[in-house]
Amino acid sequence: MKKFVVVAGNIGVGKSSLVERLSRKLDWRPFYEPEAHNPYLADFYRDMSAWGFQSQIYFLANRLHAQRQLINHPDSVIQDRSIYEDAEIFACALHEQGTMNDRDYATYRDLFTALSGFIPPPDLVVYLRASVSTLLTRITLRSREYERAIPSAYLELLNRLYEGWIASFTLCPVLTVPADNLDFVAHPGHLELIVQKVQEKLTGKEVVLFDPQEISTSTD
Protein backbone atom coordinates (compact mmCIF):
# COMPACT_ATOMS: atom_id res chain seq x y z
CA MET A 1 0.00 0.00 0.00
CA LYS A 2 1.26 3.47 -0.90
CA LYS A 3 2.59 5.54 2.01
CA PHE A 4 3.10 9.30 2.28
CA VAL A 5 5.69 10.31 4.90
CA VAL A 6 6.94 13.79 5.76
CA VAL A 7 10.25 14.64 7.46
CA ALA A 8 9.82 17.87 9.44
CA GLY A 9 12.20 20.03 11.45
CA ASN A 10 14.17 23.22 11.80
CA ILE A 11 16.81 24.63 9.45
CA GLY A 12 19.95 22.49 9.45
CA VAL A 13 18.49 19.61 11.44
CA GLY A 14 19.17 17.03 8.70
CA LYS A 15 15.84 16.61 6.91
CA SER A 16 17.28 16.24 3.40
CA SER A 17 19.90 13.75 4.61
CA LEU A 18 17.26 11.62 6.29
CA VAL A 19 14.90 11.81 3.30
CA GLU A 20 17.72 10.65 1.03
CA ARG A 21 18.64 7.71 3.24
CA LEU A 22 15.10 6.60 4.03
CA SER A 23 14.13 6.78 0.36
CA ARG A 24 17.02 4.46 -0.53
CA LYS A 25 16.39 2.08 2.36
CA LEU A 26 12.65 1.80 1.79
CA ASP A 27 12.59 2.32 -2.00
CA TRP A 28 10.40 5.41 -1.72
CA ARG A 29 10.31 8.36 -4.10
CA PRO A 30 11.91 11.43 -2.42
CA PHE A 31 10.54 14.94 -2.81
CA TYR A 32 13.00 17.60 -1.66
CA GLU A 33 12.41 21.14 -0.50
CA PRO A 34 13.01 23.58 -3.40
CA GLU A 35 15.01 26.08 -1.31
CA ALA A 36 18.07 26.09 -3.56
CA HIS A 37 15.91 27.44 -6.39
CA ASN A 38 14.01 30.10 -4.41
CA PRO A 39 15.02 33.39 -6.09
CA TYR A 40 13.96 35.33 -2.99
CA LEU A 41 15.88 33.35 -0.36
CA ALA A 42 19.19 35.24 -0.30
CA ASP A 43 17.29 38.55 -0.26
CA PHE A 44 15.05 37.21 2.49
CA TYR A 45 17.94 36.42 4.81
CA ARG A 46 19.37 39.90 4.21
CA ASP A 47 16.07 41.72 4.76
CA MET A 48 13.21 39.62 6.14
CA SER A 49 10.78 42.55 6.33
CA ALA A 50 11.10 43.35 2.64
CA TRP A 51 11.08 39.82 1.27
CA GLY A 52 9.25 37.62 3.80
CA PHE A 53 5.85 37.63 2.09
CA GLN A 54 7.28 37.00 -1.39
CA SER A 55 9.49 34.19 -0.16
CA GLN A 56 6.61 32.47 1.64
CA ILE A 57 4.33 32.72 -1.38
CA TYR A 58 7.08 31.17 -3.53
CA PHE A 59 7.51 28.30 -1.08
CA LEU A 60 3.75 27.75 -0.93
CA ALA A 61 3.45 27.63 -4.72
CA ASN A 62 6.32 25.16 -5.04
CA ARG A 63 5.01 23.04 -2.21
CA LEU A 64 1.66 22.78 -3.97
CA HIS A 65 3.37 21.67 -7.18
CA ALA A 66 5.21 19.00 -5.19
CA GLN A 67 1.99 17.94 -3.47
CA ARG A 68 0.32 17.33 -6.81
CA GLN A 69 3.27 15.26 -8.01
CA LEU A 70 3.52 13.13 -4.88
CA ILE A 71 -0.24 12.57 -4.73
CA ASN A 72 -0.18 11.33 -8.34
CA HIS A 73 2.94 9.21 -7.87
CA PRO A 74 2.00 5.52 -7.85
CA ASP A 75 4.54 4.45 -5.21
CA SER A 76 5.28 5.46 -1.62
CA VAL A 77 6.74 8.94 -1.23
CA ILE A 78 8.75 10.82 1.39
CA GLN A 79 8.78 14.63 1.52
CA ASP A 80 11.40 17.03 2.83
CA ARG A 81 9.33 19.47 4.95
CA SER A 82 5.55 19.67 4.83
CA ILE A 83 3.27 22.37 3.53
CA TYR A 84 2.00 22.82 7.10
CA GLU A 85 5.40 24.05 8.29
CA ASP A 86 5.36 26.92 5.80
CA ALA A 87 2.27 28.37 7.48
CA GLU A 88 2.51 27.19 11.08
CA ILE A 89 6.23 27.82 11.55
CA PHE A 90 7.84 30.17 9.04
CA ALA A 91 5.02 32.56 8.18
CA CYS A 92 4.02 32.60 11.84
CA ALA A 93 7.61 33.43 12.86
CA LEU A 94 7.77 36.33 10.43
CA HIS A 95 4.51 37.72 11.74
CA GLU A 96 5.55 37.26 15.36
CA GLN A 97 8.82 39.07 14.67
CA GLY A 98 6.99 41.92 13.02
CA THR A 99 8.69 41.24 9.69
CA MET A 100 5.41 40.26 8.02
CA ASN A 101 2.68 42.80 8.62
CA ASP A 102 -0.88 41.92 9.67
CA ARG A 103 -2.33 42.43 6.19
CA ASP A 104 0.22 40.22 4.43
CA TYR A 105 -0.05 37.56 7.13
CA ALA A 106 -3.85 37.49 6.94
CA THR A 107 -3.67 37.19 3.14
CA TYR A 108 -1.15 34.36 3.38
CA ARG A 109 -3.19 32.49 6.01
CA ASP A 110 -6.39 32.82 3.97
CA LEU A 111 -4.64 31.44 0.89
CA PHE A 112 -3.02 28.61 2.84
CA THR A 113 -6.28 27.63 4.55
CA ALA A 114 -8.18 27.56 1.27
CA LEU A 115 -5.54 25.47 -0.52
CA SER A 116 -4.63 23.08 2.29
CA GLY A 117 -8.23 21.89 2.50
CA PHE A 118 -7.71 20.06 -0.81
CA ILE A 119 -4.53 18.27 0.32
CA PRO A 120 -4.65 14.77 1.83
CA PRO A 121 -2.67 14.50 5.08
CA PRO A 122 0.46 12.34 5.30
CA ASP A 123 0.46 8.90 6.88
CA LEU A 124 3.31 9.86 9.20
CA VAL A 125 5.35 12.90 10.20
CA VAL A 126 8.94 12.20 11.27
CA TYR A 127 9.90 15.21 13.40
CA LEU A 128 13.64 15.83 13.86
CA ARG A 129 14.16 17.69 17.14
CA ALA A 130 17.50 19.41 17.84
CA SER A 131 18.93 22.17 20.02
CA VAL A 132 20.02 25.49 18.56
CA SER A 133 23.68 24.63 19.17
CA THR A 134 23.32 21.47 17.07
CA LEU A 135 21.51 23.39 14.33
CA LEU A 136 24.23 26.06 14.20
CA THR A 137 26.96 23.42 13.97
CA ARG A 138 25.26 21.65 11.10
CA ILE A 139 24.45 24.88 9.29
CA THR A 140 28.16 25.78 9.45
CA LEU A 141 29.19 22.36 8.14
CA ARG A 142 27.00 22.53 5.05
CA SER A 143 28.44 25.94 4.07
CA ARG A 144 25.45 27.63 2.49
CA GLU A 145 26.56 31.24 2.31
CA TYR A 146 23.09 32.76 2.74
CA GLU A 147 22.49 30.74 5.94
CA ARG A 148 25.52 32.04 7.80
CA ALA A 149 23.68 35.22 8.74
CA ILE A 150 20.82 33.37 10.43
CA PRO A 151 20.76 34.55 14.08
CA SER A 152 20.47 32.00 16.86
CA ALA A 153 17.43 33.88 18.19
CA TYR A 154 15.59 33.12 14.94
CA LEU A 155 16.39 29.41 15.27
CA GLU A 156 15.20 29.51 18.89
CA LEU A 157 11.91 31.08 17.75
CA LEU A 158 11.47 28.39 15.08
CA ASN A 159 12.18 25.65 17.63
CA ARG A 160 9.51 27.05 19.94
CA LEU A 161 6.98 27.20 17.11
CA TYR A 162 7.88 23.67 15.99
CA GLU A 163 7.30 22.31 19.49
CA GLY A 164 3.91 24.02 19.69
CA TRP A 165 2.91 22.78 16.25
CA ILE A 166 3.93 19.17 16.91
CA ALA A 167 2.14 19.17 20.26
CA SER A 168 -1.14 20.16 18.59
CA PHE A 169 -0.77 18.25 15.29
CA THR A 170 -3.51 15.63 14.93
CA LEU A 171 -3.80 14.95 11.19
CA CYS A 172 -1.59 11.83 11.40
CA PRO A 173 0.82 10.04 13.79
CA VAL A 174 4.14 11.71 14.64
CA LEU A 175 7.51 10.04 15.28
CA THR A 176 9.84 12.39 17.15
CA VAL A 177 13.56 11.74 16.56
CA PRO A 178 16.10 13.21 19.05
CA ALA A 179 18.53 14.56 16.45
CA ASP A 180 21.01 15.88 19.03
CA ASN A 181 21.86 12.30 19.98
CA LEU A 182 21.16 10.39 16.77
CA ASP A 183 23.66 10.88 13.95
CA PHE A 184 22.20 8.80 11.11
CA VAL A 185 24.84 10.14 8.70
CA ALA A 186 27.85 8.95 10.71
CA HIS A 187 26.28 5.85 12.27
CA PRO A 188 24.40 3.37 10.06
CA GLY A 189 22.99 1.79 13.20
CA HIS A 190 21.18 5.01 14.04
CA LEU A 191 19.59 5.01 10.60
CA GLU A 192 18.48 1.39 11.05
CA LEU A 193 16.90 2.35 14.36
CA ILE A 194 14.93 5.15 12.71
CA VAL A 195 13.87 2.86 9.84
CA GLN A 196 12.62 0.30 12.35
CA LYS A 197 10.52 2.84 14.23
CA VAL A 198 9.14 4.38 11.02
CA GLN A 199 7.99 0.97 9.84
CA GLU A 200 6.47 0.16 13.23
CA LYS A 201 4.63 3.49 13.30
CA LEU A 202 3.26 2.97 9.78
CA THR A 203 1.89 -0.45 10.72
CA GLY A 204 0.06 0.99 13.73
CA LYS A 205 2.31 -0.44 16.42
CA GLU A 206 2.84 1.46 19.66
CA VAL A 207 6.36 2.82 19.21
CA VAL A 208 8.50 3.24 22.30
CA LEU A 209 10.37 6.54 22.38
CA PHE A 210 14.06 6.48 21.53
CA ASP A 211 16.00 5.75 24.71
CA PRO A 212 19.72 6.21 25.47
CA GLN A 213 20.35 2.45 25.58
CA GLU A 214 18.97 1.94 22.06
CA ILE A 215 21.02 4.84 20.75
CA SER A 216 24.28 3.80 22.42
CA THR A 217 24.03 0.22 21.14
CA SER A 218 23.38 1.44 17.57
CA THR A 219 26.68 3.31 17.04
CA ASP A 220 28.42 1.11 14.49
Q: Which residues are catalytic?
A: 80
Tell which phi-psi region holds residue 81, choosing left (phi > 0), alpha (psi between -120 and 50) or beta: left
* CA angle (22, 2, 89) in 5-degree steps: 60
